[in-house]
Amino acid sequence: MEASNIGVWRGGHWLVRGVDLAIRPREIVTLIGPNGSGKSTTVKALLGILAASEGRVMRRPGLTIGYVPQRLTVDWTMPLTVTRLMTLTGRHGKAAIDAALGEVGIAHLAQAPVQQLSGGEFQRALLARALIRRPALLVLDEPVQGVDFAGEIALYELIHDIRERLGCGILMISHDLHIVMGKTDTVVCLNGHVCCSGTPQAVTESPAYRKLFGAQAAAALAIYRHHHDHVHLEDGTVVQDHHHHHHHHPQDKAGDAE
């Protein structure tokens, strides 16, 4: 999918303008930027939910898209199981639903009420709902919100695995700089327009990015790298990842709260 110079004009001003973006199969593109910078607007224009006021969006004919919106309107007063959540947007057989839930690691929660899920489990259920259609493009608007630090890392690992397994393109919106950088191929930084884009490394070194996010942004990448070779589980234990051996200092745990 490609967007060329798209702009969205609403209520007498440009919400976002001059955005160029391309997502190819097997590629992870992450959109970052401050609140109100036009991230969700851009995604909605790409998906055709909002009409772009200028520029053009090219979608491959017949492109299947799995979309996980930032806010899902669920009537929380109604009893709703995970399985039922999966059928709200389309008819799917039990086998397909169970397979999708299994793919995101929550097969055991098929009959659980959505109200009782943790933040991470709920995000996984939404992911399963997007995956059930076997999308060629997966669009995730802040997929780690409401999740603790260990849960965030686990979700990013899962998203990466999905890309490997399905070979789909992934467009992700994130306001979270320090973790997003890991497996992303291209980062696009928005601030009403594209302020910079490129590899995570290039973006974090760009003056426009530093101006937007301040000095902390430069340090953000280092925080991510520290977590790249091991994962903290919720009980505080550390699991080595990918056979890297890393001497663990007790004070490292303090860094997790950031």
Tokens standing for residue 97: 């639903």
Strands (E), 23-123: 28-32, 54-58, 65-68
Give the H or E element holding residue 164.
Answer: helix 149-166
| pTM exceeds 0.85 for this model | no
* CATH hierarchy code of domain 2-64+135-229: 3.40.50.300
Mean pLDDT for 67-72 is: 81
Please give the pLDDT value at position 252. 41
Mean pLDDT for 69-88 is: 82
Give the H or E element holding residue 42.
Answer: helix 39-47
In this predicted structure, which of 47-56, 115-124, 171-180, 221-230 has the lowest mean pLDDT? 221-230
Pair 159, 172: CB distance under 8 Å: yes
Residue type, 246: H
